[in-house]
Amino acid sequence: MIHHKSGHPVEIKKISIRLWTIRDEIESALERRLKECEALGAPLYIEDIKAFYHQYLGQTHDHSNVLNFSGKVANFMEELGKEAQSETVKEVEDKLSEQELSGSELLENHPLKDRPFTRQAPDVSKTTYGFTLLSDINMENMLCFTKDKFLHGQAIVVEFLIPQHFILNAQVNYCHHFAMRSRIISDSRPDYRLQANFTYPFKGERDSLRHFLKSISPVIQDDKKTSSLIP
């Protein structure tokens, strides 16, 4: 809102974002790995996935929305609740059980052993889009508009869709359907207003956000240069 229809210039920066849950990200990683190992005819190998997401588990307080990699995949899902059960995780569990029953162990020369794990977003069906404004982001939290609803306390991932895109992990504080009369102008017509705190479980996330905020901050002109424009 512009106070008393002020004639002063106002700069509003709208930033497109994509969101998904950390749970969906991990399940998608397991699904891709299962198919990849089957295509290679190799034993199921998920040690690199476990090691990567241990960083997340070690630095977040609420584990209810992520997989617990401390045991077999069957135990991983206990942290998610019954609604998180999926055919993909069941397949991974069966594969690990088969290896245990047969007495097989992961070979030292596994074709995927020396390849670094690359984090990827889940399938399109498990992601949603939205946008945020420059004034709604700081180093602690953010407000945004999103097409789909998220739950309080849910662990989510936010991808900033800019030329030098980056992702941040966050925890949902609230996500409410906003009123039709709010008159939000958007081509994507988002339905929910979401507020989340950044958790920074992975190295470099804080620096990425700090650099981004500095790069898009409004430029304040020097008073000496603008004084001549004042009558």
Separation in Å, CA 193 to CA 43, 130, 176: 44, 10, 5
Q: Name the packing angle between helices 22-40 and 47-59 (round to 10°).
A: 170
Tell me how many degrees the CA angle 90-95-97 measures, rounded to the nearest 5.
95
Average pLDDT of the residues in 187-202:
87
> How many separate domains does the chain show?
2
CATH number at residue 161: 2.40.10.220
Location of structure tokens 């509003």: 12
Q: Which value, in Å, is the radius of gyration of the alpha carbons in the chain?
A: 22
Q: Please indicate, yes or no, whether residues 159 and 98 belong to a single structural domain of this protein.
A: no
Task: Spell out the SS3 assignment of 91-131.
Answer: HHHHHHHHHHHHCCCCCCCCCCCCCCCCCCCCCHHHCEEEE
The string of pLDDT tens digits covering residues 10-41 is: 555 789 999 999 999 999 999 999 999 888 88
Q: Please indicate, yes or no, whether residues 143 and 208 belong to a single structural domain of this protein.
A: yes
The string of pLDDT tens digits covering residues 122-155 is: 999 999 999 999 889 999 999 999 999 999 999 9
**Which helix (H) or strand (E) element contains residue 146?**
strand 141-146
Residue-level pLDDT at 23 = 93
The string of pLDDT tens digits covering residues 64-115 is: 555 555 444 545 444 444 444 456 667 776 766 666 544 455 556 778 878 8
| Domain ranges, residue 32 | 24-102
Q: Please indicate, yes or no, whether residues 16 and 126 belong to a single structural domain of this protein.
A: yes
Q: Please indicate, yes or no, whether residues 157 and 187 belong to a single structural domain of this protein.
A: yes
Q: Is residue 107 part of a domain?
A: no
| 154 three-class SS | coil
Q: Please indicate, yes or no, whether residues 28 and 16 belong to a single structural domain of this protein.
A: no
Q: Please indicate, yes or no, whether residues 143 and 199 belong to a single structural domain of this protein.
A: yes
Task: Spell out the SS3 assignment of 52-72.
Answer: HHHHHHHHCCCCCCCCCCCCC
CA-to-CA distance for 47 and 43, rounded, in angstroms? 12
Q: Please indicate, yes or no, whether residues 94 and 147 belong to a single structural domain of this protein.
A: no
Q: Please indicate, yes or no, whether residues 131 and 180 belong to a single structural domain of this protein.
A: yes
The answer to whether the beta carbons of residues 110 and 41 sit under 8 Å apart is: no
0.85 surpassed by pTM: no
Q: Is residue 222 part of a domain?
A: no
Q: Is residue 153 part of a domain?
A: yes
Q: Is residue 231 part of a domain?
A: no
Q: Please indicate, yes or no, whether residues 139 and 125 belong to a single structural domain of this protein.
A: yes
Q: Please indicate, yes or no, whether residues 161 and 174 belong to a single structural domain of this protein.
A: yes
Contacts of 74 (CB under 8 A, 6+ apart): 93
Q: Please indicate, yes or no, whether residues 58 and 140 belong to a single structural domain of this protein.
A: no
